[in-house]
Each structure stands twice: as structure tokens, then as C-alpha cells.
Amino acid sequence: MSKRRLCVLGGCGGIGRSLVTAGLAAGYDLAVMDLKAALERHPAPAGTLAVDIEGSDEDSVARAFEAVRRHWGALDGFVNAAGFLIEKRKLVETPAEEFDVTTKGNLRTAFLTGKAAIALLEKGDAPSLVNISSGLGAYIRPNFGAYAASKAGLIALTKTFALEHAPRVRVNAVAPGPVDTAFLRGGTGRSDESGAPNIDIDAFSSLIPMGRIAVPEDVVGPVMFLLGSESRYMTGQTLWVNGGAYMP
């Protein structure tokens, strides 16, 4: 039996690297997509297909997914683990350019790569697409307005893709709370990852019933579940992974 083919967008980030490790352990063939700078900082594991991409650029997306098509011809799984947060600030203090960059990087990227991935998933075996959203997409907090809006849009995008491509392709989302990765320090490929976190980790941890913020491995299990046959009757759903901080 041939291996299932999985592509991870943002595969060099904290969650992405853990997903790639878990996918390899589960026997998937892996493609890792990320910014060129991210691939240079955290090279993809040996034996995986590494593809540089700027997810908000239509031409770059087309080239990246054409590389995957030439390599495999189809996909069985796709995870969008890309995303970034520039800075915390009130909406009235957010420059329009910063709002546009945030929504472009998070929402437009999901739209363009989702379309491209589905074209290959439709040729795959029991295909599944998983978007990484955020608890902030529904559990609104001050000073995260642009990011929250883009992640709420991602949940809507997930549901729409799910409806439009059922029953052939399943499309779901995982929405974690804060995860202790380079994302909190400027993002992989967009910073040197050494800055101070953009949240007070101790303060956030004190508000979470489980007593801590997440680590990447806490998010990997739910994603792998949504990729696999155990979730074969689920589509258009969002799994909230936040240690009990948000219970919709």
C-alpha cells in the first residue's frame, strides 16, 4: 500500500515542525512549504519535499503547488499552519497598512493555498484539509483586532470550503489558544525568533484551567485526528484546543 501524501504549509514553524515529525512517524510522505528564510533557518527533514512559498502571492502559490503536483500528482492531506501576528494594539491605533498585511498574511494565504490544495486533494485518497485558526477568532480579546478578524475569517473559509467540496474533501479547523513557539516572538522566517514574547505567558497561564499555555505537541494530536480516518464523518468543524480557557 502506498504512503499517504501530506503537505504542511508553515512546516518550519513551531507547530509545523511538530506536525512534520508526527507525520513522518505516522508513515506519511511529506512536503514542507514555508518562506525561503524559514526553510533556511529550519531545513526540512531529509526525505521530504521542501518548497519555498509566499502564501499571499498568487504566482508563488501556483509555482509551489505545481511542484507538488509534478512530484506526487495528488495530495491526501494538507495542513495550513501558516500565520503571524505583527503587534498588539487597539483597532483605532492600528494603521490600515498593518491591518492589510495581517489579513493578507493570514486570510488571503488560506484562501489561495486552500484553493490550490483542494485541486490536488480532489485527486487523492480520503482527502482532508486542516486549517490552524485561533481561539481569538471567536473568543475576542482587546488589542488583537486585525489578527482576530483574519482568524474568524479563516473559520468561515473553512466552513465554506467544507460545504462546497463535500463529500469528496473534508475541511476542518483547529483553533488553539496561545502556543509557546516562535510565533510569539515575531514568527519563523519573519524574525530572528529571539525577541520577548508578545504576551505575558505567566499571566495567560494563570487564566487557563490546565495551568499553562500550549506547546506544539498539544495541537498536533487534534490535527492528526482530523487528517485520519477516525474523523471521517467530520467536516466544517472547529476543534478548540486551549486548556479549557474558552468553552463555546
How many other CB atoms are found less than 10 A from the CB of residue 246? Answer: 15
Its sign, for the CA torsion 216, 217, 222, 227, is positive
Catalytic residue among 123, 151, 233, 246: 151
- Is 151 an annotated catalytic residue? yes
Question: Across the chain, which distance is largest between two alpha carbons, in Å?
Answer: 56
Q: What is the DSSP string of 196-230?
A: PPSS-HHHHHHTSTTSS-B-HHHHHHHHHHHHSGG
Task: Compute how many other C-beta atoms are within 10 angstroms of the C-beta atom of residue 180.
Answer: 18
Q: How far apart are CA 232 and CA 225, in angstroms?
A: 9
User: Cβ(85)–Cβ(183) under 8 Å?
Assistant: yes
Instruction: Answer yes or no: 139 catalytic.
Output: no
CB 206 within 8 A of CB 244: no
CB neighbours of residue 145 within 10 Å = 20
Q: Which residues contact 196 (CB under 8 A, 6 or more apart)?
A: 185
The total number of residues written for the chain in this structure: 248
Distance CA 133, CA 83 (A): 9
Q: Which residue in the list 147, 159, 233, 246 is annotated as catalytic? A: 147
Q: How far is CA 52 from CA 57, 123, 142, 150, in A?
A: 12, 23, 34, 23
- Residues noted as catalytic: 147, 151
